[in-house]
Structure 1
Amino acid sequence: MSQNSIQPSGLVPDKRTKFLRALCTLSGVNAIYGIISGITTAISPPDVDDTFIVNLFEQLEKYELPIADLQDDVKEYYLNLMLDLGNFGAANFLFFAIQLIGIFMMYRLNRIGFTLYTVAQIGLAAAPIIFGSFNDFGKITFAITLVWNAIWVIMYATQIKYFHK
Structure 2
Amino acid sequence: MFYLVPVFIILPLVLMAVMIIVPNHIGKKLYPSFTKTKSSVLEIKRNDLFDLLVNYENYPIWLKYLSVVHVEKIEDDKLKIMQTYSNRKTYQELTEVRRINTDDRTEISIVKLENEFTVLWTYILEDEGENKTKITIKETTYVYHPYFRFIFKYILTDENGKNEFLIKLKKYVNKNNR
What TM-score do the two structures reach when normalised by structure 2?
0.27
Question: Which has the larger helix fraction?
Answer: 1
Give the TM-score of the pair, scaled to structure 1.
0.28
More strand by share: 2
